Amino acid sequence: MPAFWSAAAGKLVERWVATGLAAAVFWLILVMAWAAGRPRPRQALAGRLDSVGAMRIGEQIALLLVVLVVLSGSGLLMRQLTLPALRLLEGYWPGFLSPLSGRLRLRHVRRRAAASAAWNPLHARLTGDPSAAGQPPLSAEERRRYARLEAGLRWSPREPELMMPTRAGNILRAAEAEPLHKYGLDAVLLWPHLWTLLPESFQQNLAAARQRLDNAVAAGLWSLLVLPAVYWTPWALLALLAVNYAWRWSLPRACLDYAILLQAAFDLHRQQLYRALRQPLPVNAAVEREAGLRLTAYVYRGSDEPTMVFESGT
């Protein structure tokens, strides 16, 4: 029994750290902001601590329980808000923001078109295309520019209608669309099926990447919630720097890490989908996209075609 309670306590501490540490930092910052707004911050904090120290033991225990409940509740509430916030940061906005969304989408479409126009001649020279015959090899600076252009093109949707109004949204949308372009597999539809077939180590890496993504979203939300403390002190406006860092720098990079693993899952393990659904593997690359489209349609709506024959075994 002591071992049981020790293990249970360890799990509780681990769970609290996962959900309550960010909340504890948030409330600590609010307390510091409140103190900064007092005429004598140090004395104000000391007075509050003295008040707690003067409480009876039972009152202190009750206060501690209240603090733990507030911290845990704040952390759990933030976990519930993370996904809706991520959807907004991706660019899934309500209808009244359609004009702004359309303008931002159009800007990204134009940027992609300009990047593609600049990438084509560099790619022709790099690969020795006949259209670039007689032109000098790429310089070091041109190679760096070529790499930047290629990365930008890779992590933005090819079709204008798929373009999102935000960078994070375009990275994730490009990752979702790529398996369809390459293999005929709808990543959004087939992801739950593929996830169950992935090796445990791969699942853990994906889960860690997704956690980093969620943490970046939550960091921005926590920082936004600090802003009302400007009522006490103008120093609370520094939270805007944290929001900018979390959502303009950390979030796109977390999205990129997750998108790379998402594509790698389809690149390396898509054959498991065919085997699990008892469908024949594509015989070559030329027919793989057509086979993937048939598999996607089968999972989406089923089939009664006699030509769709199941293989024996799994």
pLDDT in tens, the chain (314 residues): 344 334 444 444 555 555 578 888 888 888 888 888 888 878 877 777 777 777 788 877 887 888 788 888 888 889 999 999 999 999 999 999 999 999 999 999 999 999 999 999 898 888 877 776 778 888 899 899 999 999 999 999 999 999 999 999 999 999 999 999 999 999 999 999 999 999 999 999 999 999 999 999 999 999 999 999 998 989 899 999 999 999 999 999 999 999 999 999 999 999 999 999 999 899 898 899 999 999 999 998 887 777 777 777 64
User: Residue 110 is encoded by which pair of tokens?
Assistant: 């134009």
Distance CA(37)–CA(231), nearest Å, equals 8
Residue 271, domain member (yes or no): yes
Distance CA(261)–CA(71), nearest Å, equals 33
Instruction: Name the pTM for this structure.
Output: 0.84
Among 108, 130, 165, the domain-final residue is 165
What's the angle, vertex CA 71, arms to CA 65 and CA 73, rounded to 5? 100
Among 123, 147, 165, the domain-final residue is 165
Q: Which residues have C-beta within 8 Å of that of residue 262, sequence separation ≥ 6? A: 175, 176, 187, 191, 206
Q: Do 45 and 121 reside in the same domain of the chain? A: no
Domain extent, residue 271, equals 2-91+166-301
Asked if 138 and 125 count as a contact pair (C-beta separation under 8 A), the reply is yes
Q: Do 23 and 146 reside in the same domain of the chain? A: no
* Structural domains of the chain, count: 2
Q: Which residues have C-beta within 8 Å of that of residue 142, sequence separation ≥ 6? A: 122
Q: Do 40 and 123 reside in the same domain of the chain? A: no
Q: Do 180 and 124 reside in the same domain of the chain? A: no
